[in-house]
Amino acid sequence: MGSNHDSLGEKVFDGFNYLFLSIFAVITVLPFIYIFAGSFATEAELSERSFFLIPRDFSISAYQYIFSSNTIFRSIGVSIYITVVGTITNLAFTLTMAYALSRRDLLGRNLIMNLVIFSMLFSGGMIPTYLVVKELGLLNSYGALILPGAISAFNLIIIKNFFQQLPPGLEESARIDGCTDLGVLWRIVLPLSMPVIATFGLFYAVGHWNNFFSALLYLNDHTKWPLQVMLREIVMLSQLAIGDINNMDPNYVKPPEQSVKMAVIVTGTIPILLVYPLLQRHFAKGVLLGSIKG
């Protein structure tokens, strides 16, 4: 679209367009930068200068403080554990079921597909699900954060559709060579689906890392809390040292300061930012996969 034919009006439009989008991008990123800078500032500087992007007195005391007890360390460990084990569980459940359902001649397939789709439309809701988790004895265990969400019906259907699009010839020749259905899935279908598995693995993993509510709902024991719940306790409810009060220096038990809150936020954000390049690539693909036809 020849830009050399632009009228003055169009040039003005271009100018405003760049300006507007730049402002939007800055508004998106600035809060992170400010929080990051603030987490390395002293409390005095934070109360004195209202806004800055580079701290005058560089200080890591906020980080020393939050890592002086094992509360944060432990909750990071919990979050990593749930993310890893949860994602593996998700993929195992979703991929096996999706493969079985991708075989059109499977007896009972339509019935089960309808069960899956209906579960997207209607759910028992929070309380009955909570009671089922409780009856299964999963309260206060990490199983409660992993099993009730083991399969996302939406992801299942997209992966099933993807499996159906794989060339059937490969599977047939493998079967003639004596492969069972298990062998076909493991040796043929999964290796062909690695990009899709990576995409949905990331979907699930980010969901686990960011999950806050299941932990609040199912875990009463605060020594088992993942990072997101800790974050809320410290930053929003202004509490620190939950469960560790006895182990900590009594002088430390006071409402956390701004810089400490910022340091906790940074701690929760960094892991996501580290994998962001991967996420951006795969997630965009996932969104479009899903939008073709769910």
Partner 1 sequence: MDSTLQSGPDAAVKAKKSKATVLGSQRPSWIGKVKKDRWLYVLLLPGLIYFLVFKYLPMWGVLIAFQNFQPFVGFWNSEWVGLENFRNFFANPDFVRLLRNTFILAVYDLVFFFPAPIIVALLLNEIRVNVIKRFIQTMVYVPHFISMVIVASMTYVFLTTQGGVLNEAVFQITGRRIDFLADPDWFRPLIILQIMWKETGWGTIIFLAALASVDVEQYEAAVVDGANRFQRLWHVTLPAISSVIVILLILRLGNFLDNGFEQIFLMTNSLNRTVADVFDTYVYFVGITQGAFSYSTAIGLFKSIVGIVLIYGSNWLAKRFGQEGLY
- Residues 128 and 135: their CA atoms lie apart, in Å, by 10
| 144-166 CB burial, b ≥16 within 10 A, e <16 | bbbebbebbbebbbbbbbbbeee
CB of 249 to partner 1, least distance (A): 24
Residue whose pair of structure tokens reads 């206060």 in the numeric block = 140
Piece of the chain touching partner 1 by CB under 8 A; list 58-66, 69-77, 192-200, 262-270:
262-270
- Residues 100 and 93: their CA atoms lie apart, in Å, by 11
CB of 250 to partner 1, least distance (A): 23
CB of 179 to partner 1, least distance (A): 10
Q: What is the pattern of x (binds partner 1, CB under 8 A) and - over residues 39-68? A: -------xx--xx-----------------
Closest CB to partner 1 among residues 125, 250? 125
Binding to partner 1 (CB under 8 A) within 199-258 occurs at 206, 209-213, 217, 228-229, 231-232, 235-236, 258
Closest CB to partner 1 among residues 69, 267? 267
Piece of the chain touching partner 1 by CB under 8 A; list 66-74, 98-106, 161-169, 245-253:
98-106
For 75, phi and psi rounded to 5 degrees?
-70, -30
CB of 246 to partner 1, least distance (A): 26
Is residue 75 within the footprint of partner 1 (CB under 8 A)?
A: no
Q: What is the pattern of x (binds partner 1, CB under 8 A) and - over residues 147-176? A: xx-xx----x--------------------
CB of 160 to partner 1, least distance (A): 11
Is residue 70 within the footprint of partner 1 (CB under 8 A)?
A: no
Task: Using CB atoms within 10 Å of the CB of residue 76, give its burial: 0 to 12 exposed, 13 to 18 middle, 19+ buried.
Answer: middle
Closest CB to partner 1 among residues 77, 128? 128
Binding-site member from 62, 78, 158, 265 for partner 1 (CB under 8 A): 265
Is residue 15 within the footprint of partner 1 (CB under 8 A)?
A: no
Binding-site member from 94, 155, 193, 199 for partner 1 (CB under 8 A): 94
Piece of the chain touching partner 1 by CB under 8 A; list 28-36, 53-61, 64-72, 192-200:
28-36
Closest CB to partner 1 among residues 230, 241? 230
Binding-site member from 15, 18, 247, 253 for partner 1 (CB under 8 A): 18
